[in-house]
Amino acid sequence: MKKVLLKIESLWSKGDSGEILRGINLKLGPGETQALLGPNASGKSTLAQVILGNPKYKIIRGKIYFLGKDITRFSPERRAKLGMALVWQMPPTIKGVKLSALLEKISKEKIETTEGEELLEREINVDFSGGERKISEILQTIALKPRLVIFDEVDSGLDIKKIETVAKIIKRELISRKIAILIITHSGQILKFLKPAFTNVLVKGRIICKEKNYKKILKVIAKYGYEKCKKCPFLAGRQ
Amino acid sequence: MAMKNVKNVHFWQVDNKIKNIIQVPGNVILPSAQAWRKFNWVKKYFDKEPKEGYFIWIKKQVDSPLATCINIASPKASQNLTNLMVVEKGIKVKSNVICSAIGNNLCGSHRARGKLILKSGSSLEYNHFHQWGQNDFVSPDYEFILEKNSRLIYNYKNSFPPKNLLLKTIIQSGEGSSSNLNLVINSLNSKVGILENVNLSGLNSQAVMKLRLVGRENSQTEAVSVISAKSPSRGHLDCQGLVVSPKAKMSLTPRLICQNKDAQLTHEASIGKISEEELTYLRMRGLTEKEAINLIVAGFLKT
């Protein structure tokens, strides 16, 4: 039987404004790269935050397993220690704290990378450009020596050249080291560089499609939008 | 902050006993009481004959920082210091001042009245570090007199406030003088009262006052910061508070008094809490909630 790193079973979750995730089912193997596509407000970022244990979101029912352990009630730091990491779409600024100071605190060993060296002595995310934020996030993630990294909208706000650069770092530092990746993206632009094994489509808090060929999904979405996905006869769970 | 090699400080007092004085060639360092008897001119700076404290008269350029260290080491020790520092014309000096309790539960009392005179064109960087026990009473009351074109940088840092801290600072700003005050206090269970007063009485004098206050546990912090301008001058107040614990209380009162139409006074003040988003972000990086709070607080105090 194929090994499972992350397993989400019938996960329902709510935030301040009500239910956001409505029965999510997802499996990710060790070292596997998957993508999660979805329209705005479909629950993509919420899913990422819930997987990492953000206390802002309440789990109504369902389970999250990581490395075979039920981590549904684990604190964010406990999940991080187990090897889960999130690259935030809009990370908060931490004034007065240099990136190097945080890396020193969280690093399991010294990071050898040339990207982002100029950011080390700057306050975390203060006046960072979109690209700088992504590099800073990836540096922190590498420092954690994770088993799974979730990228929340890693390609948003970047031009195609920057997306390619970020994808190269992800491939070199994570994918080539057999670290599992879940790429959350609205546009899907980064997928051609990362070539996910599976692409999931999330609409209104449910994963309605899981497909090996990411190009096929991108083509449908580009032509008809996510509306077509909703009508697709191969909805997840109905195949 | 502990002095690494206390024997090298220029004035060292423990409880009520002077342990050591190291003279710096060309300058004078004496107990205040001795200075009162030796120099008639210093009497105008004291209200009455001082009993304890130090007198530092900087007449010649000093290349390395001057250091003073006042400790409380015995239970219920009570200090009542009267300090005087005079920086002569055109001299630039840096002074590191450490006042601390050696133990956390000595129930000591440390009162210090200080006068610092910056003669014209002189410059002083005064780094004042406090570290106290949880049951001490501490009351520093300092007045800086800035003569023409003098420069003052006053950094006060208190990472371990006592049970009661009453901190008063007055700056009299002469013509063309500038002062820069930075106060950093991280209160745990303390009652902290702060009264800062800058008088911009000299033409084209300038002052920037910056407060960074953190309230933790059951601390109560009340700060009143005043800049008043009597002549064309510029002043800015920047008071920021961070309340970390549900029981901590904080009050900040920035006050600007303008008595001259060509003066420009500004202020910014805020009291906030630690953002849940920042906390969650750092916890997702593997820090415990406590470690994350400490990092955010340390960062806030550096801004």
- 3-class DSSP state for residue A61? strand
The answer to the question of residue B102 being in a domain is yes
Q: Which residue of A85, A96, A105 is in closest CB contact with B287?
A: A105
Tell me the pLDDT of chain B averaged across its residues.
95
Give the pLDDT confidence score for residue A106 in this predicted structure: 93
Rounded Cα–Cα distance for residues A88 and A76 (Å): 14
- 3-class DSSP state for residue A182? strand
What residues are paired with B84 via a beta bridge? B55, B115
pLDDT at A91 over 80: yes
pLDDT at A11 over 60: yes
Distance from the Cα of B203 to chain A's closest Cα (Å) equals 35
CATH code for the domain of A163: 3.40.50.300
**Contact across the interface for B277 and A92, Cβ inside 8 Å:** yes
The answer to the question of residue A76 being in a domain is yes
Q: What is the pLDDT of residues A49-89, one digit of tens each?
A: 999 999 999 999 999 999 999 999 999 999 999 999 999 99
The answer to the question of residue B179 being in a domain is no
Rounded Cα–Cα distance for residues A181 and A194 (Å): 10
In 3D, which of A59, A122, A48 has the Cα closest to residue A88? A48
Q: What is the pLDDT of residues B67-87, one digit of tens each?
A: 999 999 999 999 999 999 999
Q: Give A228's pLDDT tier (boundaries 50, 70, 90).
A: confident
Residues of A in contact with B280 (CB under 8 A): 54-56, 76
Question: What is the average per-residue pLDDT within B14-43?
Answer: 96
Give the pLDDT confidence score for residue A115 in this predicted structure: 76
In 3D, which of A180, A238, A183 has the Cα closest to residue A208? A238
Domain with B72 in it: 1-134
Q: Give A238's pLDDT tier (boundaries 50, 70, 90).
A: very low
Q: How far is CA A32 from CA A147, A182, A183, B31, in A?
A: 10, 8, 11, 74
The residue ranking higher by pLDDT, A239 or B246, is B246
Distance from the Cα of A202 to chain B's closest Cα (Å) equals 24
Rounded Cα–Cα distance for residues B189 and B212 (Å): 17
Residue of A nearest to B212 (CA): A96
Give the pLDDT confidence score for residue B180 in this predicted structure: 98
Hey, how many other C-beta atoms are within 10 angstroms of the C-beta on A1? Answer: 3
Q: Give A222's pLDDT tier (boundaries 50, 70, 90).
A: confident
The answer to the question of residue A17 being in a domain is yes
The answer to the question of residue B99 being in a domain is yes
| Exposure string over A139-178, b if 16+ CB within 10 A, otherwise e | bbbbbbebbbbbbbbbbbebeeebbebbbebbbebbbeee
The answer to the question of residue A66 being in a domain is yes
Q: Scan for tokens 């596509």, then name that residue.
A: A37
- Phi, psi for residue A116 in degrees, rounded to 5: 80, 5
- Phi, psi for residue B187 in degrees, rounded to 5: -90, 135
**Contact across the interface for A94 and B281, Cβ inside 8 Å:** yes
**Contact across the interface for B284 and A79, Cβ inside 8 Å:** yes
DSSP state of A109: S
Domain with A146 in it: 6-231
| Exposure string over A106-130, b if 16+ CB within 10 A, otherwise e | bbeeeeeeebbeebeebbbbeebee
Q: What is the pLDDT of residues A112-150, one digit of tens each?
A: 666 788 999 999 999 999 889 999 999 999 999 999 999
The answer to the question of residue A137 being in a domain is yes
Residue of A nearest to B295 (CA): A97
Question: What is the average per-residue pLDDT within B217-231?
Answer: 97
Q: Which residue of A56, A86, A144 is in closest CB contact with B276?
A: A56
**Contact across the interface for A77 and B281, Cβ inside 8 Å:** no
- Of A111-120, B37-46, B172-181, which gets the smallest average pLDDT? A111-120
End-to-end Cα spacing for chain B: 20
Residues of B in contact with A56 (CB under 8 A): 276, 280
Give the pLDDT confidence score for residue A234 in this predicted structure: 57
Residues of B in contact with A95 (CB under 8 A): 299-300, 303
Distance from the Cα of B51 to chain A's closest Cα (Å) equals 42
Residues of A in contact with B288 (CB under 8 A): 77
The answer to the question of residue B147 being in a domain is no
Residues B152, B146: contact at Cβ < 8 Å?
yes
CA angle A42, A60, B274 (to 5 degrees): 80
Distance from the Cα of B155 to chain A's closest Cα (Å) equals 17
Look at chain B and report how many structural domains it folds into.
1
The answer to the question of residue B123 being in a domain is yes
Residues in CB range of A233: below 8 A, 6 or more apart: none
Residues B101, B130: contact at Cβ < 8 Å?
no
Hey, how many other C-beta atoms are within 10 angstroms of the C-beta on B230? Answer: 17
Q: Scan for tokens 């500004």, then name that residue.
A: B266
pLDDT at B230 over 50: yes
The answer to the question of residue B185 being in a domain is no
Give the pLDDT confidence score for residue B1 in this predicted structure: 45
In 3D, which of B66, B64, B57 has the Cα closest to residue B26? B57
Rounded Cα–Cα distance for residues B53 and B84 (Å): 8
Q: How far is CA A155 from CA A87, A162, A166, A187, A189, in A?
A: 11, 8, 8, 8, 7
Residue among A51, A77, A102 with most chain B CBs within 10 A, to mutate: A77
The answer to the question of residue B90 being in a domain is yes
Percent of chain B clearing pLDDT 90 (strictly above): 95
Give the pLDDT confidence score for residue B40 in this predicted structure: 95
The answer to the question of residue B32 being in a domain is yes
Residues of B in contact with A76 (CB under 8 A): 280, 283-284
Question: What is the average per-residue pLDDT within B276-289?
Answer: 97
Q: What is the pLDDT of residues A161-207, one digit of tens each?
A: 989 999 999 999 999 999 999 999 988 999 999 999 999 999 999 99
Percent of chain B clearing pLDDT 70 (strictly above): 98
The answer to the question of residue A239 being in a domain is no
Question: What is the average per-residue pLDDT within B46-50?
Answer: 93
Rounded Cα–Cα distance for residues B92 and B242 (Å): 35
CA angle A170, A175, A177 (to 5 degrees): 115
Give the pLDDT confidence score for residue A236 in this predicted structure: 47
Look at chain A and report how many structural domains it folds into.
1
Residues in CB range of A159: below 8 A, 6 or more apart: none
Rounded Cα–Cα distance for residues A214 and B157 (Å): 57
**Contact across the interface for A80 and B283, Cβ inside 8 Å:** yes
Give the pLDDT confidence score for residue B67 in this predicted structure: 96
Rounded Cα–Cα distance for residues B15 and B4 (Å): 19
Rounded Cα–Cα distance for residues B62 and B10 (Å): 12
Residues of A in contact with B277 (CB under 8 A): 92
Question: What is Dmax (Cα atoms) for chain A?
Answer: 53
Distance from the Cα of A205 to chain B's closest Cα (Å) equals 22
